[in-house]
């Protein structure tokens, strides 16, 4: 644990450019994990991460590497998520590093999150090693990609590592570059302890485990420590490194990255970004922390079976232990009963959480359409934060409403500029600028309401550009907007869980499209179901679900019993995601229909 023999680095990239696969090759080449124990994307440990092939949580792993100079180095590798929803995980991990490997797919070139992640690394003052990956593919164009890295990101790319996570080619070069180009950590081993918490999670047996980077001093079992932001004091139960399984060590020394078992039971006492010092004789000045993750998208989650309300609450409590970005509060809907309003970082985060709730906790949930946080200014001057369309105050009492905007960066080949224009303008986007990153890549900047982006913007962007576009965004504050609440009525009754907030100019179109969609989605019932879209009392659009013609079971009358049973089971399965609202059975899809607008 000589400082000069430690390297702490991250691998950053646009999603799917091959970070996780490269990490696997590093584990293999350094003998950290035997080839026979190798599973693809070993660091992606959550089931959902594996299935979807995305990294959600950052992971830290320590490997030992004997370089060509004959010296053995301790490399701490932090794998980061590439999806824009999880940018905050990236900035966390980077704070624990001295360098970053910027992976760019040799067939795709620089994409939006390549730019965003490279910016994060530059802002964190990290040494950046460009790596051009997937050079085994026939369509690889390393020279073009080098030019994009130089022109678009201003990172010298002459010496970029050429590699393939698939064949393992270039991985040795990468490790040599890490040893020679990334600076050794700086710090004072004799000074009092200062360690940065860059991640934490809850372990059912051991309580809260923190991932830390020791900046000064050292930390060992039995030390009495204090978390500086929260003031929590505790005794260190264990420290060690992950290989990637956790192995206890006598101590973590200056410059090292590892885990710390705190013995605490509440993750809120162990805040990511906080500084750990000794309870006695510690320091007074914490390390710079970082911005807390802020939820941007809100949705109602309701158990289909009312008995699952308490289990849902417990499940949310458990998941939020490991996910500071997940926030929730109880919500009651006339239509759906008792549930929760849950805040997420973005749509992918929402999907992942919903899936985990259903899969890991066996819950059957109904999710209402995602919405953003609106600021409603009342005539009295008071501002109300609105997380749910249901809470919209009476229009007569409103002075004006503001909605969150994003700065969106879209990277595309020049041919698709027109297609992106059409889409972004149709979604109330304001064009900011456009410039050429290289001959083959244009960067367009837009200001666009977040509420428009959480519609099917990304899907549309991809399909209108044959998959070439990539997107990155950040919050751009609140702007005034002409917004109204659109109500959906079934059989003449407004259904609170189906109402949504929309720009005045879009209300008519969206109302009409939604009525048409709902007509297709809501199954025929024993009676006719009129569907209406209305603002206040004014109906903008209507449709009707016709009554069912005859009982399906009638066909089986007197027929064989197994067939009848099968039919019943089939109906039951189909009903699983349905919720009876009044006397109308409404499927899950109906709540999401709002998202597919054209
Ligand atoms: P990440 O999202 O950046 O972590 O990317 P992954 O490591 O999950 O890789 C995304 C996809 O690219 C997977 O299907 C990999 O099998 C594939 N892939 C990764 N590296 C290479 C490579 O060097 N060559 C080829 N041909 N495919 C690769
Ligand atoms: Mg990955």
User: DSSP string covering 248-260, please?
Assistant: EESEE-TT-EEEE
Q: Is 53 in the pocket of ligand 1 (CB under 6 A)?
A: yes
> Does 87 sit in the ligand 1 pocket, CB within 6 Å?
no
Quote the pLDDT of residue 246: 87
Dihedral sign computed on CA atoms, order 329, 332, 333, 335 = positive
Is it the case that residue 571 has pLDDT exceeding 60?
A: no
Taking the C-alpha atoms of residue 174 and residue 544, their distance in angstroms, rounded to an integer, is: 63
The number of the ligand 1 atom at minimal distance from the alpha carbon of 13 is 3
User: Is the minimum distance from the CB of 438 to ligand 1 under 6 angstroms?
Assistant: no
Closest CA to 82 of 15, 18, 9: 15
Q: What percent of the chain has pLDDT over 70?
A: 86
pLDDT in tens, 482-524: 999 999 999 998 888 888 899 999 899 989 998 999 998 888 8
Determine if ligand 1 sits within 6 Å of the CB of residue 20: yes
Dihedral of the alpha carbons of 461, 463, 465, 470, in degrees to the nearest 10: 50
Highest mean pLDDT of the ranges 82-96, 202-216, 255-269, 420-434? 420-434
Q: Which one of 14-23, 74-83, 235-244, 281-290 scores highest in mean pLDDT?
A: 235-244
Local confidence band at 233 (pLDDT 50, 70, 90 cut-offs):
very high
Mean pLDDT taken over the chain: 86
CA distances from 422 to 414, 468, 470 (A): 14, 16, 16
Q: What confidence score (pLDDT) does residue 288 get?
A: 72
Beta-sheet strands, E only, within 90-176: 99-105, 127-133, 161-162
* CA–CA gap between residue 478 and residue 72 (Å, rounded): 52
- Secondary structure letter of residue 155 according to DSSP: -
Report residue 400's pLDDT band, with 50, 70 and 90 as the boundaries: very high
Q: Which residue minimizes the CA distance to atom 19 of ligand 1?
A: 18
**pLDDT the model gives residue 204:** 78
Please, are residues 262 and 210 in contact by the beta-carbon 8 Å criterion?
yes
Atom of ligand 1 at shortest range from CA of 17: 3
The CA distance from 520 to 140, in Å, is 45
486 pocket-lining for ligand 1 (C-beta < 6 Å)? no
Lowest-pLDDT range of 37-46, 411-420, 461-470: 37-46
**Cα gap 450→405, rounded to integer Å:** 5
Q: Does the structure show a pLDDT above 70 at 292?
A: no
229-268 CB burial, b ≥16 within 10 A, e <16: eeebebebbbbbbbebebeebebbbbbbbbbbbbebeebe
CB atoms within 10 A of CB 53: 13
Q: Is residue 446 a contact partner of residue 429, using CB atoms and an 8 Å limit?
A: yes
Backbone angles phi, psi at 421, to 5 degrees: -50, -55
Q: Which ligand is nearest to the CA of 101?
A: 1
Phi-psi region of 281 (alpha: psi -120 to 50; beta: other; left: phi over 0): left
pLDDT at 568: 60
Query: Please, which residues have CB within 8 angstroms of residue 357's CB and are 6 or more apart in sequence?
Result: 301, 312, 315, 316, 319, 363, 365
Q: Which structure tokens are listed for 390?
A: 């249901």
Q: What is the ipTM of this complex?
A: 0.99
pLDDT at 559: 52
Q: Write down how long the chain is.
A: 598
How close are the terminal C-alpha atoms of the chain, in Å? Answer: 59
Cα→Cα distances 167→136, 144, 163, 199, 546, Å: 7, 22, 8, 32, 59
Task: Say if CB 553 and CB 514 are below 8 A apart.
Answer: no
Using only C-alpha atoms, what is the Rg of the chain?
27
DSSP 295-307: --EEEEEEESSGG
Query: What's the pLDDT score for residue 96?
Result: 85
Per-residue pLDDT reduced to its tens digit, 177-206: 999 999 999 999 999 999 998 887 777 788
pTM of the model: 0.72
342 has a pLDDT exceeding 70: yes
Q: On the CB side of 65, how many CA atoms lie within 13 Å of its CA?
A: 30
**Cα 119 from Cα 122, distance rounded (Å):** 5
The finding on whether 17 has its CB within 6 A of some atom of ligand 1 is yes
Q: Minimum-distance ligand to the CA of 57?
A: 2
Write the pLDDT tens digit of every residue in 105-147: 999 999 988 888 888 888 888 999 999 999 999 999 999 999 9
Which pair of tokens denotes residue 34?
A: 């035997």
pLDDT of residue 45 exceeding 70: no
Whether the CB of 164 sits within 6 Å of ligand 1: yes
| Residue 252: predicted pLDDT | 97
Q: Are 80 and 89 in contact (CB under 8 A)?
A: yes
**Distance separating alpha carbons of residues 88 and 20, to the nearest angstrom:** 18
Indicate the top mutation candidate among 13, 18, 50, 107 to test ligand 1's pocket, ranked by most ligand atoms within 8 A of CB: 18
């Amino acid at each position: 644990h000589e400082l000069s023999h430690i390297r702490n680095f991250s691998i950053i990239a646009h999603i799917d450019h091959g970070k996780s696969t490269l990490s696997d090759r590093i584990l293999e080449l350094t003998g950290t994990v035997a080839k026979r124990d190798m599973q693809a994307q070993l660091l992606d440990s959550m089931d959902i991460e594996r299935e979807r092939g995305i990294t959600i949580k950052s992971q830290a792993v320590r490997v030992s590497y004997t370089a060509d100079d004959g010296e053995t180095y301790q490399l701490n590798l932090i794998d980061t998520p590439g999806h824009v929803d999880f940018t905050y995980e990236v900035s966390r991990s980077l704070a624990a590093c001295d360098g970053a490997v910027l992976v760019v797919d040799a067939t795709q070139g620089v994409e939006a999150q390549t730019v965003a992640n490279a910016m994060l690394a530059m802002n964190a003052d990290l040494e950046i090693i460009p790596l051009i990956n997937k050079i085994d593919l026939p369509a690889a164009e390393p020279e073009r990609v080098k030019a994009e890295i130089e022109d678009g990101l201003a990172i010298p790319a002459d010496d970029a590592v050429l590699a393939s996570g698939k064949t393992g080619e270039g991985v040795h070069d990468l490790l040599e570059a890490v040893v020679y180009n990334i600076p050794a950590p700086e710090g004072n081993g004799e000074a009092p302890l200062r360690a940065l918490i860059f991640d934490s999670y809850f372990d059912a047996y051991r309580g809260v485990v923190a991932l830390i980077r020791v900046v000064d001093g050292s930390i060992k079992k039995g030390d009495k420590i204090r978390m500086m932001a929260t003031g929590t004091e505790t005794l260190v139960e264990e420290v060690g490194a992950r290989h990637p399984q956790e192995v206890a060590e006598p101590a973590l020394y200056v410059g090292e990255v590892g885990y710390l078992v705190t013995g605490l039971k509440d993750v809120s006492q162990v805040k990511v970004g906080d500084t750990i010092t000794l309870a006695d004789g510690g320091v007074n000045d914490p390390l710079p922390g970082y911005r807390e993750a802020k939820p941007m998208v809100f949705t109602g989650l309701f158990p289909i079976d009312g008995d699952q309300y308490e289990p849902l609450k417990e499940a949310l409590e458990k998941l939020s232990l490991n996910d500071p970005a997940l926030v929730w509060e109880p919500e009651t809907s006339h239509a759906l009963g008792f549930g929760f309003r849950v805040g997420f970082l973005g749509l992918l985060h929402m999907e992942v959480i919903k899936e985990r709730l259903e899969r890991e906790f066996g819950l059957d949930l109904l999710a209402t359409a995602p919405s953003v946080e609106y600021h409603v200014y009342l005539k009295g001057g008071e501002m109300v934060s609105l997380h749910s369309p249901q809470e919209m105050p009476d229009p007569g009492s409103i002075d004006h409403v503001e909605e969150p905007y994003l700065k969106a960066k879209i990277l595309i080949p020049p041919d698709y500029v027109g297609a992106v224009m059409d889409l972004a303008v149709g979604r109330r986007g304001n064009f900011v600028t456009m410039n050429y990153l290289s001959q083959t890549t244009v960067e367009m900047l837009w200001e666009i309401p977040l509420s428009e982006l959480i519609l099917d913007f990304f899907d549309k962007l991809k399909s209108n550009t044959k998959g070439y576009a990539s997107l990155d965004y950040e919050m751009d504050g609140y702007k005034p907007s002409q917004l109204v609440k659109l109500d959906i009525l079934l059989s003449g009754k407004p259904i609170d869980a189906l109402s949504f907030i929309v720009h005045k100019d879009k209300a008519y179109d969206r109302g009409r499209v939604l009525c048409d969609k709902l007509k297709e989605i809501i199954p025929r019932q024993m009676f006719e179901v009129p569907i209406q879209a209305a603002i206040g009392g004014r109906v903008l659009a209507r449709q009707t679900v016709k009554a069912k013609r005859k009982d399906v079971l009638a066909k089986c009358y007197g027929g064989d019993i197994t067939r009848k049973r099968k039919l019943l089971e089939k109906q039951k399965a189909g009903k699983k995601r349905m919720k009876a609202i009044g006397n109308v059975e409404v499927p899950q899809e109906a709540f999401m229909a709002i998202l597919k607008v054209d």
